[in-house]
A and B are shown apart, each in its own frame.
Chain A
Amino acid sequence: MAAHRCGLCFVFTLILSCFLARPCSCDTFEKISDNTEAEESVAGALREVNADDQNERQWQSTDVEMDRGDASKHSQSFTPAPAKDQFQEEMVIRPLHSGDIYASFQFRTLWDTDFLREGKKVSHYRLFPKSLGQVLSKFSVQELHISFTQGFWRTMQWGQPFIPSPPGAELWVWFHHTVTDVDGNWKELSNVLSGIFCASLNFIDSTNTGQPSASFKPLGLRNATDHRFLRYATLPREIVCTENLTPWKKLLPCGSKAGLAVLMKSEKLFHSSFHSQAVHIRPVCQDALCTNTAWELRQTLNVVFDLYTSGQGKKEWSLFKMFSRTLTEACPLASSSKVYVDITDNPEGELFELSPATPLLSQAVVLGDRRTYSVYDLTKAETFGQLRSLNLLLRWKGNSGDMLRPLLHAERYVAGFGLQTGEIHTVIYNNHPYRAFPVLLLDSVPWYLRLYIHTLEVTSKLRDNKPSYIHYQPSKDRQRPHLLEMLIQLPPHSMTEVTVQFERALLKWTEYTPDPNHGFYVGSSVVSALVPSVVAMDTNFTQQQPLFSSFFPVKEESSYFMRVYTEPLLVNLPTPDFSMPYNVICLTCTVVAVGYGSFYNLLTRTFQVDEPSPPLAKRLANFIRRIRGVPLLT
């Protein structure tokens, strides 16, 4: 025992010493040079290395030459090279009909470079974060989308978000077609991202990774069809909090020190109904001609504040109320920095009053609808007025009207009783009054819910609706999930129900989570669709579009791309009593011991006929008689 303990101590000290190998940089500082001569030059610095007069003179002379060269450079009127990277920031505020406020931040860094070009390593970063750049080139990532969401987006009350995301964490990555070991790269990449974002992405393994064949097409330049290079995973259980926000903010060039990001105080952001932060990286065109690629990093943060209930029933909001900060400046590195407020429902100012008022208005076609926005340009000094700070204030005058029902909407639930079987219902609504359109439904179900795919039923308007395309990848126990992808035609103004039955598997006792009675999460289904647009979509490629309207590429005027995530499911699995293994050991051991004991007795004991002893009643009687002194019975 003592030896064991010694050994353990030894291991720990070794591990500790490895961590401490880099000494804490507290009092071991040294200065580079002790020379008194005020010689700020190469020579001065190198003198310690070459402490010799002659050599020093040589260094000095070269140095003089250098200085002269520099002087001439300085004397020329210096014109900075056109920056190959640019940064844009914007915030959209949309008052929701429920009285909540939807604030959506988008930060875009565009860099005219190619991470995947052969032979030339990208290693000098300016605005683009180095940590992400290194990941892109190391793992040959073509496109990367990661989102962390806390709360569920209520489509029926809030309408469509600009960039949808499922509750929990979602990661999908297209790898470059030169990658040979996609699974190895994917595993390592998720581990690295887990470190960068302080999230549990390291729990992504083959059991929750799928390769959807049609739902997740690249959003960037490449039109890939080979889904061998795509990996998709969700962690519906992931809790998003401050520790994920801080590394996300660190990726911004201005951090949270200037620009719109100063509003991101975590105690306010996480005191909200919905919070979603995401990072999207993809190659895009540099210009309209699309001769060169640029890499785009989009960081988005969407948050819905419930100011109605927390604000004593007043439908009033201001930047300060929401974020406990006001805006004072744009990020000096940003080429554009704008705040948009959605005033579509308030053309004449009868619904609410927005102050300070701005003369700038902008129209954009977003999610199939033409919206009007008040624009506040933070790069202009007059935006901030006399107080040198911008505190947007919105006061409601009347009651807002009813919201139009969103054209596409989906929900999902588990039906059935008992712990053996169950049924997953997915309901998709098409609220378009007269247009039918197809949707792609993607369902990724963990292996421990064994889907009975023969029970798959799709019904619309009480009639069987046969999917025109089904891609089904059956699960393998402990290896991969079920992946079900279907193309369903949604009739106009209808409700389509997809049901499939499943059986709950019994897990091994080490496979249960620490709180198994909480249940197991099944990630959201994804409904992707090209929804018919009410107004003509803008298919022109222009840099001047606001960021929030230019995320999903628009290919045709008549429809727009939309993705809807359903609720994640929480399914109870048959859960054993976890002291069971030890009980079983004890019980079997006792049974074995009892059997063995009697067997042993039978074998080793000798048996002989014994005089039968008098019955109990007689013995008792005799006992009493003895006390009384009466002769005993025989």
Chain B
Amino acid sequence: MAVLQLEKQRGRYAALAIAAVVIVVGIPLWWKTTETYRAWLPFSEISELDSLQLQLSVDIEVVFSRGTLTPEQQTKVPLSNVREQEHVVDAKTGLRYTYETKYRTATIMEEDALNQHTAAEADLSLHMLTESSCGSVVVYVIPDSSTLLPEDVKVYVGQRRTALLRSAPIKSSWSLKEVLSNLDPHVEKVVNTMSFSHQDIIAALSDRVRMAKVTKESMADNMRAIKSSPGYEITFSLLNPDPKSHNLHWEIEGALHDYIQPLLNKLSPIANFSVDSQILYYAVLGVNPRFDNSVSAYTLSADSLSHVINPVEARLGSNAASSNPVLNFLLYVPDALHSPLFIRDHSKREVPSNAFHSPRWGGIMVYNVNEMYGSEAELPVDININMAKVMGVFLAQLRLLLGLQHTHPPPGFVLQSPGSAGLADWELDRLLWSRSVENIATASTTITSLAQLLDQIGNIVINDNIAQQVSSAVTSLQSAVAELEAGNLAFALQYSREAILASERAFFDPSLLHLLYFPDDQKFAIYIPLFLPMCVPIVLSLLKIVSETRQRQADKQAKKD
């Protein structure tokens, strides 16, 4: 009997030992060999980015020219003050604008510059004197009596980063403080026009923030502008549906050089642009224009414009050599039988430019040539296209699509036209502000959603290169936010571009998809034939051991009693 007891004890130990080996060696081994590789990600920093506190700093210089301050007021200048504005956009996003205003009196050279005949000349010579940094604003306060500006104009915004502000009549009894507080609302208006307005920034944040408070107009502006991207392809296409009657020539190379390239050169800090052109024959619009007897012309109504593009788009072709977004500009010359062709707006009036654009896609202009030849002309007629007219329209469309919003200047403001450059410095600054904010918003959303995704799906393999992209995106984002805070607009944009690139590269890396779908039922199908027969005896014998021990203890208890 004792032998039997001993034998039973040995069996029990054996079962325990096997269970111990399975638990100590087997399970860790299985765990280790079936693990997916997941590199370390800076989750804590990413969750910090999730709640974004952006601080935008603008340097403002207010320069008083001679005659705007009384001598005693002048003695107290220079001084500076900092004005802060805080906005809470939503629970996770906050904005703070810091306006650092410096007041000083004009130097002699600046006074000379301001003594020019016209505002444009003054603007130019002021620009020669100082090189203002990207994102800053200089406001020159000129006396009420100055002849630089026409009577009813209060503010003149130049081609660079300067504005001329006509001061209100100042009572000499006022202290400087009163003068400044009188001036400040005007300066604020100027700054809102020249650098950024709250509306723009909110619109730029649309990737992060559910839009509620945004006005319909800035929403439309924002929707129209193409998304921020490291590069754009701009394609000009001449559509000639009727090569039998029209032999069209366009001097596209020269026109691009004269009209489009200056603007793109100016915009080069924002993105790389590549421009090309093509001529498409037998490309027809998707809508048959209706003949209108009253004007004896064919008309396209605004409602049907949405159907125009689709058949053309199939022929446009995408750029095979890059994956940047494409902006298409089409010049459509109607065929001889369907011309002239005019576009009518919703109120049935003819659109003077005969052009329309589609948000984030491009623009189409209809160019009628039927007046350039008589009915007896020999076909095909050689026609030279007036590129100045065409490029004017395309340039305007390009500005809209790039997000150079048309600003509504407050009454009494004059905005100097950008001239040959196509873009004033302060317009570029506006774009830089909203693009930086937009990039930061987009990149932070991408990174946080990627982190969330990786956190949720344990099957995804995270390779080292992805981890590296994520960390570089995070560091670039942090530097971009810091640069915005310091007011270095150019650097902020550059870092935000890097952040967006790195984050998108990480997000769209194909290696993330390899093991994305590895369902649990397949795992079980593979594990069960092995694990079930192995685990059942172990579990059963463990249960048996437990119940035996309990029985024995109960027996002992009974004996004691």
A interface residues, Cβ below 8 angstroms from B: 1, 3-4, 6-8, 10-11, 14, 21-23, 25-46, 48-52, 54-55, 58-59, 63, 66-67, 69-70, 73-74, 78, 80-81, 123-127, 129-131, 134-135, 137-139, 192, 195-196, 250, 253-255, 257-258, 329, 332-333, 582, 585-586, 589-590, 592-594, 596-597, 600-601, 603-608
Known contacts A130-B317, A135-B321; A257/B305 CB under 8 A: no
Question: In the bound complex, do residue A597 and residue B7 qualify as a contact, i.e. CB atoms below 8 Å apart?
Answer: no
Q: Tell me whether A78 and B393 are in contact in the complex, defined as CB-CB below 8 angstroms, given that A10-B456, A603-B18 are known contacts.
A: no
Partner pick for B529 among A4, A593, A603, CB 8 A cutoff = A593
Give the Cβ gap from A402 to chain B, nearest Cβ, in Å: 45
Distance in angstroms from B394 CB to nearest chain A CB is: 8
Given A23-B359, A600-B18, verify A40-B353 contact (CB < 8 Å): yes
Complex: how many Å from CA A70 to CA B372? Answer: 13
Tell me which residues across on chain B come within 8 A of A123, comparing CB atoms: 274-277
**B405 — nearest CB in chain A belongs to which residue?**
A49
Inter-chain contacts of A36 with B (CB < 8 A): 349, 352
Q: Decide if A23 touches B353 in the complex (CB within 8 Å).
A: no
Q: Does B468 contact A (CB under 8 A)?
A: no
- The A-contacting residues of B in range 440-487, CB under 8 angstroms, are 449, 452-453, 456-457, 459
Residue in B closest to A196 when the chains form the complex, CB atoms = B320
Determine the chain A residues whose CB is within 8 A of the CB of B459 once the complex forms.
4
Find chain A residues with CB under 8 A from B529 CB. Answer: 585-586, 589-590, 593
Cβ-based interface call for B230 (8 A): no
What are 18 contact pairs spanning A and B, CB under 8 A? Answer: A11-B516, A23-B223, A30-B359, A31-B351, A37-B352, A43-B392, A49-B399, A55-B416, A58-B417, A123-B275, A124-B253, A134-B319, A196-B320, A254-B281, A254-B282, A585-B526, A590-B533, A592-B530
- Partner of B414 from A52, A131, A138 at Cβ < 8 Å: A52
Say whether B281 contacts A125, CB under 8 Å.
Answer: no
Determine whether B262 belongs to the interface, using a CB cutoff of 8 Å to chain A.
no
A585 to chain B, nearest CB (A): 6
Inter-subunit contact B343/A31 (CB<8 Å) = yes
* Any A CB within 8 A of the CB of B511: no
The stretch of B43-51, B130-138, B381-389, B493-501 that contacts the partner chain: B381-389
Q: What residues on B are CB-neighbors of A1 within 8 Å?
A: 520
Q: B8, A31: Cβ atoms under 8 Å?
A: no
For residue B97, CB closer than 8 A to chain A, the reply is no
A443 to B511, CA, bound (A): 36
Complex Cα distance, B547 from A261, in Å, reads 89
- In angstroms, Cα B419 to Cα A59, docked, is 9
B430 near A: Cβ within 8 Å? no
Q: Taking the nearest CB of chain A, how far is it from the CB of B536, in angstroms?
A: 9
Residues of A within 8 A of B534 (CB): 592-593, 596
A596 to B525, CA, bound (A): 20
User: Bound complex: CA of A334 vs CA of B535, how far in Å?
Assistant: 81
Whole-angstrom CA separation of A332 from B248 in the bound complex: 13
Interface string of B210-242 (1 = CB under 8 A from A): 000000000010011001000000010000000
A550 to chain B, nearest CB (A): 25
Let me know if A78 and B395 touch, CB within 8 A: no
- When chains A and B are docked, how far (Å) is the Cα of A151 from the Cα of B491? 60
Contact pick for A125, options B4, B278, B453, B526, CB 8 Å: B278
Closest to A246 in B: B314
Which residue on A lies nearest to B396, using beta carbons?
A45
Are A604 and B274 interface neighbours, CB within 8 A? no
Closest Cβ of chain B to A329, distance in Å, is 8
Given contacts A28-B306, A74-B372, 19 further A-B contacts (CB under 8 A): A1-B520, A11-B516, A30-B358, A42-B395, A45-B397, A46-B396, A49-B406, A52-B415, A58-B417, A70-B388, A125-B279, A130-B276, A192-B320, A258-B243, A333-B243, A586-B529, A603-B18, A606-B10, A606-B11
Q: Which of B14, B277, B453, B533 meets A124, CB within 8 Å?
A: B277
Which chain A positions have C-beta within 8 A of B314? Answer: 250
Is B537 part of the binding interface, using a Cβ–Cβ cutoff of 8 Å? yes
- B363 on interface, CB distance cutoff 8 Å: yes
Q: Report the bound CA distance from A36 to B318 in whole Å.
A: 36
Q: Is B121 an interface residue (CB 8 A)?
A: no
In the assembled complex, B421 has its CB within 8 A of some CB on chain A: no
Complex Cα distance, B12 from A32, in Å, reads 89
CB distance B302 to A31 under 8 Å?
yes
Residue from B305, B320, B352, B456 within 8 A of A3 (CB atoms): B456
A7: chain B residues within 8 A (beta carbon): 453, 456-457
Neighbour of B384 across the interface among A27, A28, A78, A603, CB < 8 A: A78
Query: What residues on B are CB-neighbors of A125 within 8 Å?
Result: 276-279
* CB of B177 to closest CB in A, whole Å: 34
B388 and A32 contact, CB distance less than 8 A = no
The answer on a CB contact under 8 Å between A603 and B11 is: yes
Bound Cα distance from A1 to B415, whole angstroms: 60
Are B409 and A40 in contact, with the CB atoms below 8 A?
no
What residue of chain A has the Cβ atom nearest to residue B418's Cβ? A50
The reply to whether A131 and B359 contact each other, CB–CB distance below 8 Å, is no
Which residues of the other chain, B, contact A196 by a CB distance below 8 angstroms?
320
The 9 closest A-B pairs by CB, nearest first: A42-B392, A593-B533, A589-B529, A123-B276, A138-B321, A589-B530, A257-B282, A7-B456, A7-B457
With a cutoff of 8 Å between Cβ atoms, the chain A residues found around residue B201 in the complex are: none
Q: How far is the CB of A459 from chain B (nearest CB, A)?
A: 48
Q: Mark B260-301, 1 if CB is under 8 A from A, else 0.
A: 000000000000001111110110000000000000000000
Q: Which residues of B contact A51 (CB under 8 A)?
A: 406, 408
Q: Are B396 and A49 in contact (CB under 8 A)?
A: yes
- Give every chain B residue within 8 A of A32 (Cβ-Cβ): 351, 353, 355-357, 363, 393, 396-397, 400
Whether B11 pairs with A30 at a CB distance below 8 angstroms is no
Question: Are B359 and A28 neighbours in the complex by a CB distance under 8 Å?
Answer: yes
CB neighbours (8 Å) of B353 from chain A are 32-33, 40, 44-45
CA of A589 to CA of B532, assembled, Å: 10
For B395, the chain A residues whose CB sits under 8 A away are 42, 45-46
